[in-house]
Every structure is written in C-alpha cells, then in structure tokens.
Amino acid sequence: MERVPGSFGTSVSFALRIFQLGFSSTSLISMCLDYDFNELSGGCNAYVILWSILHTLADTYSVLLKQLPQKPRVLSIVLAGDVVLSFLSLSGACGAASATEMLLSIDEPMCGDKRCIKYQVSALLAFLCWALFLDSAIFNLWSLYSLFH
C-alpha cells in the first residue's frame, strides 16, 4: 500500500512535527520568560509540545529504523489527537492575540519595553502551529480514508 505523504510515520510527517515542536516551544518560551502572562495559552502550548515530542520520536523511529505499520486504530488515535490539539493551539493563539491587542488598545503601561511585540510574535507562532496541526490532521484523515479503499 502506498503511503500518503504527511501521514503518520512518513518523512513529511517528521518535518511537520519538527516545525510544530519548534513553533510551540518558541511561542511558550517567548511568552513565559518574563511575565506570567497567559495561563490558557501556556497550558495549551505545553500539551502541544508533549504531543509533538511523542510524534517526532515515533516518526524518527519509523523513518530511520523500521517503517511502522499504519493500522486504522493507530491512525484514528493520531487523527483525534491532532484535531484536539489543533483546537487547543487555536484557542491559545486567539487568547494571546486578543489579550495583547486589548492591552495595546488601552495603552497599558505593561506593554512598554517591547513586551507586547513579544506576545504578538508568540501568538503568531501559535497560529502557525495550529496551521501545521491542521495539515497533519488532514493528511492522517486522508491516509485513514485510503486504508479502507
């Protein structure tokens, strides 16, 4: 059976997971380093990082050592996780973006010292992370569909 590029265990999926890991950790670090800013967003990012690490390991194993089999049950779990985490990262990104915009619009002194720009970058990275999760989910859905046809 031909594998759908980007689905679980392929090299495209490995690349997607690496980017997800990079974006989510940079977003978390830039948000948490100097101020206890947005707990929602931080919490979401932590789950995203855990899930990405798990998948990066699985994909590395599958790409470098031995191709993992694509079973419907495994693909369904991966798909469900991707969908849930795409919702989580979108909610974190929107929360961070909205709170930052609100702070900027009311001229809070908290926003001085380029702090708010840092938060905006963090929200942007979380949005990118969401887009990558959506890609992973679509590829895995496609792969799951092609398993039955």
Cα-Cα-Cα-Cα dihedral of 55, 39, 98, 127, to 10°?
-10
Amino acid residing at 98: S
Q: Are 75 and 7 in contact, with CB atoms under 8 Å apart?
A: yes
How near is the Cβ of 98 to its own copies at its closest, in Å?
4
Cα angle 59, 64, 65; round to 5: 100
Q: Which of residues 87-146 bind its own copies (CB under 8 A)?
A: 87, 90-99, 101-103, 106, 108, 110
Nearer to its own copies, 60 or 91 (CB): 91
Is 77 an interacting residue with respect to its own copies (CB under 8 A)?
no
- For 36-69, what is the HEC assignment? CCCHHHHHHHHHHHHHHHHHHHHHHHHHHHCCCC
Nearer to its own copies, 58 or 123 (CB): 123
Nearer to its own copies, 18 or 40 (CB): 40
Is 47 an interacting residue with respect to its own copies (CB under 8 A)?
no
Residue ranges that bind its own copies, judged by CB under 8 A = 38, 40, 87, 90-99, 101-103, 106, 108, 110, 148-149
